[in-house]
């Protein structure tokens, strides 16, 4: 009986604490391979891109994770770096990997007509 109790408590710990630790450990291990940046997509009237300006390292592989938290579709492009995600549907998260091979400051923007203020859904990316 005592052995069974120990097994039950072990399973309980595995289902709770170890699960939470495991989830974050896997993600940390996965992200260690890239320079990862999280970008939130929102129409300008709801806050616009967040962050709207950011810096990426030159020549290093980047994982850009774009989270559309809204109920409309957005798109994403950095034309100068030839990076694009054609469609990020409502609630979807899209990851794009690329290596910035130009230094400077470049605009990025939404590529799907998402609201009346779509044209202002823009930001700046600096590669250095």
d(CA 96, CA 87): 12
Among left, alpha and beta (phi > 0; psi -120 to 50; other), residue 104 is: left
Residue 48 C-beta: closest distance to another protein, Å? 15
Helix (H) or strand (E) holding 104: strand 104-109
Site string for another protein, 3-22 (x = CB under 8 A): -xx-xxx-xx-xxx--xx--
Is 25 one of the binding residues for another protein (CB under 8 A)? Answer: no
- β partners of residue 105: 126
Give me the least distance between CB of 15 and another protein, in Å please: 4
Read off the tokens for 28: 């940390």
Which of 90, 99, 102, 117 is in the footprint of another protein by CB under 8 A? 90
Q: With respect to another protein, which residue has the nearer C-beta, 65 or 124? A: 65
């Amino acid at each position: 009986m005592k052995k069974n109790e120990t097994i039950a408590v072990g399973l309980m710990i595995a289902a709770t604490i170890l699960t939470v630790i495991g989830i974050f450990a896997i993600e940390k291990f996965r992200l260690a391979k890239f320079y990862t940046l999280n970008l939130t997509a929102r129409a300008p009237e709801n806050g616009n891109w967040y962050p709207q300006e950011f810096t990426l390292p030159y020549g290093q592989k980047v994982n850009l994770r774009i989270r559309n938290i809204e109920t409309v579709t957005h798109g994403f492009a950095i034309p100068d770096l030839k990076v694009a995600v054609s469609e990020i549907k409502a609630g979807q998260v899209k990851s794009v990997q690329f290596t910035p091979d130009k230094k400077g400051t470049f605009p990025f923007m939404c590529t799907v007509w998402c609201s009346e203020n779509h044209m202002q859904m823009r930001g700046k990316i600096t590669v250095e």
